[in-house]
Amino acid sequence: MASRSAAPNKRLIQELNKSRQEQNPALTYLAPFDDSDLHHWRAGLKGTADSPYEGGVWEIDIMIPDNYPIVPPTIKFITKICHPNIDAKTGEICLDLLKSEWSAAYTISSTMTVIQTLLTSPEPNSPLNVDAAALLRAGDTMGYESLVRYYVWRYARKADD
């Protein structure tokens, strides 16, 4: 593996230490995938209370580029999830923050909080999951929430609350 610059590593170590000291209520865990690569993290993202995602925990894969924090991390869902802005097959997330709206002020932890917020604030007009978006655009909130709850029951492990 090519050597990585020290500046992003220092920032990532600071972020990791801070995340260990200050628990993020959106997460069950946030840590490097293994100790040998500080640029590959995993997280357990909780579904928000009083939403169809409540009770679920999704595993998230986080690839951090060498030029982080100037360039955003690549984040995707490993656990299957039903959401208009998340590709059901690849786990790719359609979120401006992860592309054009990125700022070096964001941390991995704060980015995960934004992704949790996305779960309850879908944008059905820019979908990666057209079926879920179609339900919302048609005003079938009950159908959409039932499908989400099925995915939570079927795929998301349960939160240890």
Catalytic annotation, residues: 94
Q: Which residues sit opposite 61 in a β-bridge? A: 42, 76
Count CB neighbours of 101 within 10 A: 11
Sign of CA dihedral 77, 81, 85, 88: positive
| String of DSSP letters for 76-126 | EESS---BTTB-TTT-BB--GGGTTT--TT--HHHHHHHHHHHHHS--TTS
Q: Is 67 exposed, middle or buried (0-12, 13-18, 19+ CB in 10 A)?
A: exposed
Sign of CA dihedral 61, 22, 100, 6: negative
What's 156's DSSP letter? S
